[in-house]
């Protein structure tokens, strides 16, 4: 029996981490992106532009067992979001139909930005998703498109991804970043390695016959007030200066729960910002 296979559409940071994890489990991995020279070693390249309607000539001949759609918008406006998340997904679904392929499951990587709650509420997969900005609305449209396909589908709503190369908070703290302490501005995050780990866990769980829900939130164990995170980073980085102005770039405040994923058996490698940022500062991830 041949090894199971996964096609990762949008094989960037999280996708490449997922690819490495699946390769380590002896899976066959294909990665779709424009610049295939950036794919990890061992990944079968699928050179394609998701904005092009024509099926790429390098599309897998054999039906992939799993398809993970984790594209990222290269253009940070509504048109760019629609192109990356809705039109790109529509093209991939049409290519599967065109080739007569029906994977065992589609995983669509979404965002906790579909939730608009702002008062520190705890959020789970059953909470109302009623986004107030175009980013959340477009992502919700893409989720609906994925769920309306004829493929078994699981949505994975990731929270703020951080890790090597995703260190904006660390850089802001170095510059004396200030945030309001009251009311607390809760932030949710997941290390990039754990984001990939959750996707890998769900794929392998499905492959082993475990029943998956149609949605999971990807977040660590400990949503925390942003002021607490900043204070911890200041101490560990030895920052003593403050900027003159108070800068808060986010307006939402909610606490996302990973209880559903944990109930399935998943656990983050970095359960809170402390373990994750310590690893980054020490160069371990």
- Do the beta carbons of residue 181 and residue 225 sit within 8 Å? yes
Pick the closest to residue 40 from 248, 196, 185, 173 (CA basis): 196
Query: Which of 225, 143, 136, 138 has the alpha carbon at shortest distance from 184?
Result: 225
Paired tokens of 174:
């170095």
DSSP 3-state of 158 = strand
Task: Write down the pLDDT at residue 238.
Answer: 87
Residue 128: what pLDDT? 94
Low-confidence ranges of the chain (pLDDT < 50): none
pLDDT at 265: 97
pTM above 0.85, yes or no: yes
- pLDDT of 106: 98
**What pLDDT shows up at residue 118?**
86
Q: Token digits for 249?
A: 């770039």
- Written as one string, the DSSP assignment of 105-119 is EEEEEEEGGG----S
Hey, what domains does the chain have and what are their CATH numbers?
5-281 (3.40.50.720)
Of 144, 75, 156, whose CA–CA distance to 108 is shortest? 156
């Amino acid at each position: 029996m041949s090894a199971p296979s996964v096609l990762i559409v949008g094989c960037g940071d999280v996708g490449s981490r997922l690819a490495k994890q699946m390769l380590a489990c002896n899976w066959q991995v294909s990665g779709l992106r424009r610049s295939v020279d950036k794919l990890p070693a061992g990944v079968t390249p699928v050179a394609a532009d998701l904005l092009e309607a024509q099926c790429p000539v390098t599309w897998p001949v054999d039906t992939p067992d799993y398809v993970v759609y984790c594209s990222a918008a290269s253009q940070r406006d509504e048109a760019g979001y629609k192109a990356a998340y809705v039109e790109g997904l529509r093209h991939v679904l049409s290519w599967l139909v065109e080739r007569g392929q029906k994977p065992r499951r589609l995983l669509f990587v979404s965002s906790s930005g579909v939730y608009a709650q702002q008062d520190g509420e705890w959020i789970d997969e059953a909470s109302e998703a009623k986004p107030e900005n175009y980013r959340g609305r477009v992502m919700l449209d893409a989720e609906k498109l994925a769920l309306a396909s004829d493929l078994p589908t699981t949505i994975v709503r990731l929270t703020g991804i951080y890790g090597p190369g995703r260190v904006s908070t660390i850089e802001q703290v170095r510059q004396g970043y200030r945030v309001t302490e009251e009311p607390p501005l809760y932030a949710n995050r997941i290390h990039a390695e754990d984001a990939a780990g959750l996707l890998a866990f769900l794929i392998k769980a499905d492959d082993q016959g475990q029943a998956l829900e149609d949605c999971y939130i990807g977040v660590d164990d400990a949503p925390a007030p942003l002021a607490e995170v900043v204070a911890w980073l200041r101490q560990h980085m030895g920052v003593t200066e403050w900027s003159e102005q108070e800068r808060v770039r986010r307006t939402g405040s909610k606490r996302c729960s990973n209880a559903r994923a944990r109930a399935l058996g998943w656990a983050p490698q970095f359960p809170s910002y402390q373990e994750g940022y310590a690893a980054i500062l020490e160069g371990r991830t």
